[in-house]
Structure 1
Amino acid sequence: MKKLEPAVATSNKIKFDDGDSHESSSEEEEEIERELADVTFEELLRARSDGSEMVYRKSNAEKKSSRANKNRPMEMSSKKPVSRFREVIQVPKRVGRDPRFESLCGKLDVEGFKKRYDFIHKNELPAEKEALKKKMKEENDPEVINELKDRMAQIGRELKSAVTKHTDKEIIAEHKKKEREAAKKGKRPYYLKKSDIRKQKLIQKYEELKGTGKLESFLDKKRRKNAAKDHRYMPYRRPAEQ
């Protein structure tokens, strides 16, 4: 079996034979000459030496296409079918920018951002919730009423989340202030855990309810809720067998 040299990569092959050269047409000869012009002399010698009669043709994709001007259209071969989707006009690529990671947009000031847009949770959302309540009383369509209820529930969750974040922020800021004073005296700093923040929130809520006189009613409501929860897991008495 004759060994082939993978000197030039492609699947198109041209066979040339000295005995049959007179039978080929002039166009075929010109085509062969053009193809052989891309093959180096060293590769031809190597193909002759090992008895191979095949020379591999270079693919057009490997040939570097050059244009005199970058704005001119690319020259395409007429022997290959043109794909349905191709770039006819070269449009400059649009690069998207993310202001969070762009130095041109400046540094994000989280505290300043919250202060500037704090009016949304203090004024805008509560006013929208009250307007939705009034609209729900006047509405008769059940689908519209359900949509209004969903929007009101969404506003309530957002307001509750904002209050929770604000409380956590105040607790952490107060703790940092105390730890700075302790660090000046040579003490090691202590970093709050999530469980510590929950305890501090419970203490604050307890003090607030005690100051407003609503502590007893709150505790009574909690007891009833816990009793109802425990009652669900109590075993039922089996009916007496007859």
Structure 2
Amino acid sequence: MKKPSTELASSSRIQFKESNEDCSSIPSEDEEEIENELADVTFEELQKARSNGSHLVFQKPKEEKMSRRANKNRPMEASSKKPVPTFRDIVQAPKKVARDPRFESLCGTLDTEGFRKRYNFLFENELPAEKEALHKKLKKCKDPKIINEVEERISWIDKQLKSDTTKRADADILAKHKKKEREAAKQGKRPFYMKKSEIREQRLIEKYKELKASGKLEKFIEKKRRKNAAKDHKFMPYRRPGE
């Protein structure tokens, strides 16, 4: 029964010796810093700390040391405590600036008449020839997937040809109007600029005159009437089964 008492005594002595060694290991510079910090603390704060039993003295936050390089040829030392960001711009590459030629003065201005003259062969020769070849292919083909693709291509060609004819008609009307207004301006009159709606109206008038001269006006009006009736039929309500 005497053995455990001796062990406890020896353990307590060892702890006491370690605590003394820890106290003696504190350098004198740290003691001076603690004394300086305690000098700034008020008596009231010390009394509160003692009453709570904590005996804690709040140290002032130390100023962050500026990270400097030991040598100008060495890299900057970063702290391992700070987390590294996920995205870092290691090499700043030059940004690609996208330019739209429609709104850039460097690209010049678009000459619509010159563009139409240069690429006139597409609308007069290439697209009509492609349309005929697609019609021949459509007659021979039996695969529904290929038939669908060919029909979509033919509809696209029709739209392109139709838009080209309307643009040409609008350009001719505008050119005639500009020529007329130049002659009027020479006489001292104020120029009149046509709107898009007025150009469209003038185009329809000229088309009406052409159809009337060729004798196709009634056929055109009947086709237009059926097309409008089909559009109106979509919005008509269906009959109820009880009626």
CA contact (8 A) 2:68 2:76 kept: no
CA distance 1:77–1:115, change in 2 (3 Å): farther
**Where does structure 2 lack aligned partners over 5 or more consecutive residues?**
1-22, 34-39, 46-57, 237-242
CA distance 1:156–1:226, change in 2 (3 Å): closer
**Where does structure 1 lack aligned partners over 5 or more consecutive residues?**
1-19, 33-47, 235-240
CA distance 1:223–1:84, change in 2 (3 Å): closer
Partners of 2:75 and 2:128 lie apart in 1 by 60
Larger Rg: 2
Partner residue of 2:108? 107
TM-score, normalization: structure 2?
A: 0.58
Partners of 1:87 and 1:231 lie apart in 2 by 62
Partners of 1:85 and 1:123 lie apart in 2 by 56
Q: Secondary structure at the match of 1:198?
A: helix
Counterpart of 2:60, as a letter, is: M
Partner residue of 1:54? 60
2:223 corresponds to 1:201: no
2:99 corresponds to 1:93: no
Number of residue pairs matched by the alignment: 191
TM-score, normalization: structure 1?
A: 0.58
Moved more, 130-139 or 223-232: 223-232
Partners of 1:214 and 1:153 lie apart in 2 by 24
Q: Percent same amino acid at aligned positions?
A: 52
Q: Secondary structure at the match of 1:187?
A: coil
CA distance 1:95–1:187, change in 2 (3 Å): same
Q: Secondary structure at the match of 2:81?
A: coil
Counterpart of 2:160, as a letter, is: E
Q: Which has the higher contact order (CA 8 A, sep 6+)?
A: 1
- How big is the alpha-carbon RMSD for the aligned residues of Structure 1 and Structure 2? 4.4
Partners of 2:229 and 2:115 lie apart in 1 by 45
Partners of 1:122 and 1:73 lie apart in 2 by 69
Q: Secondary structure at the match of 2:129?
A: helix
